[in-house]
Structure 1
Amino acid sequence: MTQEIEHTHLPIRGLNLHVAQVGKDELGTVVFLHGFPEIWYTWRHQMLAVAAAGYRAIAPDSRGYGLSDQPPEDVEATWEDLVADVLAILDTLSIQKVFLVGKDYGAIPAYDFALRHPDRTRGVTCLGIPFSPAPFDFTTMPEGFYILRWREPGGRAEADFGRHDVRRVVRTIYILFSRAEVPIAEEGQEIMDLADLSTPLPPWFTEEDLDAYAALFEKSGFRYPLQIPYRALHRMKMQLDAKFQVPVLMVMGEKDYCFKFPGFEEAMRSGAMETFAPDLKIVYIPEGSHFVQEQFPEQVNDLLLGFLKDHP
């Protein structure tokens, strides 16, 4: 499936970032930003679909992920770096204006880029994470909530992950994150204890897909991925006066466990997002999980291509 996709490394702001690309840019360019525990490969279905429709698809491995370089350990991870990386990629490739597609934590720099650089943005599509004008507040969640566990700086997540090989860690997270329930450990449990090797993979995620993810995380490990997003969520900026000047498409699987995060459903169903994004369309996929772009690729591709064509 991925033979048509080309792979390069670009010198971006002191790091060599891995970038996957396909397509000829007849109608424009689409930049895909992944979440956790993802890399460029999460967008394989969408990249080929937009390329076939006449667009150029670009999917970087975020700094510290996959085949991209690791920032030095003493450098603080920031959301501003992710936005600056996207801008530098566009400048390096001499691309003036793009559509942005973000998933999971990749939605945060996608939204931020569109707000900061509307002159470089044709539109933004985000999956799973609504726009938030303030840092996410998880103080009402139980102690065993995975984000509270993984954002601890003392190495608890590293110790939990370190009990298993990389393939087992990615496998477990994919199983947990594809469910409708929020991953929460009981007292005496760690997050990796919530699934074992007898737990089947989601039917739409193959052993070969798992191999592709595991190979890339073997290279990067989890040190930086735990910094961004989990240990930087509290450093999201206040943007109470944000106003998108470009069209926004929000896609949410109704069985995405993130839908149960505090304030997420209200932000989407109450019309609160329209305060910040006047040209907003929200689409719900009834059986969609957190990995809706891999679970229902044709449905997501149709929505994405429709959005691109509606905003030439």
Structure 2
Amino acid sequence: MTAGAPLLQPGWREGVRPANGVNLHVVEAGREGDPLLILLHGFPEFWWAWRHQITPLAAAGYHVVVPDMRGYNLSDKPDGLAAYTLDVLAADVIGLADAFGAARVHLVGHDWGAVIGWWVAARHADRLERVVLMNGPHPDVWARQALKHPTQALRSTYVAFFQLPWLPEATLGGFDFAGLKAMMQASARAGSFEPHALDRYAEAWARPGALTAMLNYYRALRERPRSGGPARLSPETLILWAADDRFLERHVAEAGLALCDRGRLEFVEDATHWLHIEQPDRINARILRFLESGA
């Protein structure tokens, strides 16, 4: 990959779709009318996180839709923490399905995209076919597991930092986002990101209001009301968990699995948090097998 090379590949289309009161920038591939498959990126990525998945999944017969989540890159960036609660973020996904006229969709999420995916599956199960969640915790178990496991609490200290006012923006955004770039590189295997890839991420982070909106996902967690018990998932769910994730330990995935009525958990060895970038062929094949057969 060279600096300035176009992000869109042959067969990919981009546009804007209204969803839940905001406009979401989306990239799509595949035929309209094929089963709708929505891919949700995490922090601090944008739609391009799925660059290794879009074409193979579309070629397998899916209408692949990849949004910039609200607050990210070219999507709307509403003000205030209330615009970034889990209920709102989950409603964005349902609104996107509505915008494409799909009564039911397949859903794949990574990192924050997986966090949102857990919540969509818990709150809107009737709109989902099969769900794949990668290295993002169930919202109702994340804090519980950190309390039980001091090592996980230590790994999660960044969450508390991200919730502070203004300081995270100053720390992560300075010197052309050197802090964010360093975080991604340090948590991945050497060579995971192509030459100039992190510059492309920095272009998305530099859009007005983007960094604050991205951090508001974490800040809004403080506003979340506590319910009586953890939310269960009824859709068929596959949890793919990188074994060498520096942010999340294995027990976080196991606690999420315990809340799935029809779930399976598989650890991906020799992969870090960025498993979909490091092992795309393996991840793509596993996603397709599960979407096609549930196995």
TM-score by length of 2: 0.86
Greater alpha carbon shift after TM alignment, 144-153 vs 246-255: 144-153
CA distance in 2, matches of 1:85, 1:135: 22
Q: CA offsets, 1:190-227, max 9 Å, x none?
A: xxxxxxxxxxxx31211232232222222253111111
Unaligned runs of 5+ in 1: 180-201
CA distance in 2, matches of 1:283, 1:150: 29
**Cα RMSD between the aligned structures?**
2.5
Which residue does 2:4 correspond to in 1? none
Which residue does 1:156 correspond to in 2? 167
User: What is the letter of the counterpart of residue 266 of structure 1?
Assistant: H
Which consecutive segments of 4 or more residues in structure 1 shift more than 6 A?
Answer: none
CA distance in 2, matches of 1:204, 1:287: 12
Q: 1:292 to 1:177 in 2, by over 3 A?
A: same
Which residue does 1:302 correspond to in 2? 285
Q: 1:2 to 1:238 in 2, by over 3 A?
A: farther
Unaligned runs of 5+ in 2: 1-7
CA contact (8 A) 1:129 1:258 kept: no
CA distance in 2, matches of 1:78, 1:132: 11
How do residues 1-312 of structure 1 correspond to structure 2 at under 5 angstroms? 2-25=9-32, 27-73=34-80, 75-134=82-141, 136-137=143-144, 138=146, 140=150, 141-142=153-154, 145-153=157-165, 155-166=166-177, 168-178=178-188, 202-220=190-208, 221-228=210-217, 230-236=218-224, 237-238=226-227, 240=229, 242-260=231-249, 265-269=250-254, 272-311=255-294
Percentage identity across aligned positions?
28
Q: 1:239 to 1:291 in 2, by over 3 A?
A: farther
CA distance in 2, matches of 1:62, 1:208: 23
User: What is the letter of the counterpart of residue 216 of structure 1?
Assistant: A
Which residue does 1:193 correspond to in 2? none
Q: 1:96 to 1:136 in 2, by over 3 A?
A: same
CA distance in 2, matches of 1:254, 1:274: 16
Q: 1:30 to 1:279 in 2, by over 3 A?
A: same
Give SS of 1:4's match: coil
Q: 1:144 to 1:295 in 2, by over 3 A?
A: closer
Q: 1:75 to 1:88 in 2, by over 3 A?
A: same
CA distance in 1, matches of 2:140, 2:175: 37
CA contact (8 A) 1:18 1:61 kept: yes
Q: CA offsets, 1:259-280, max 9 Å, x none?
A: 33xxxx22444xx444321211
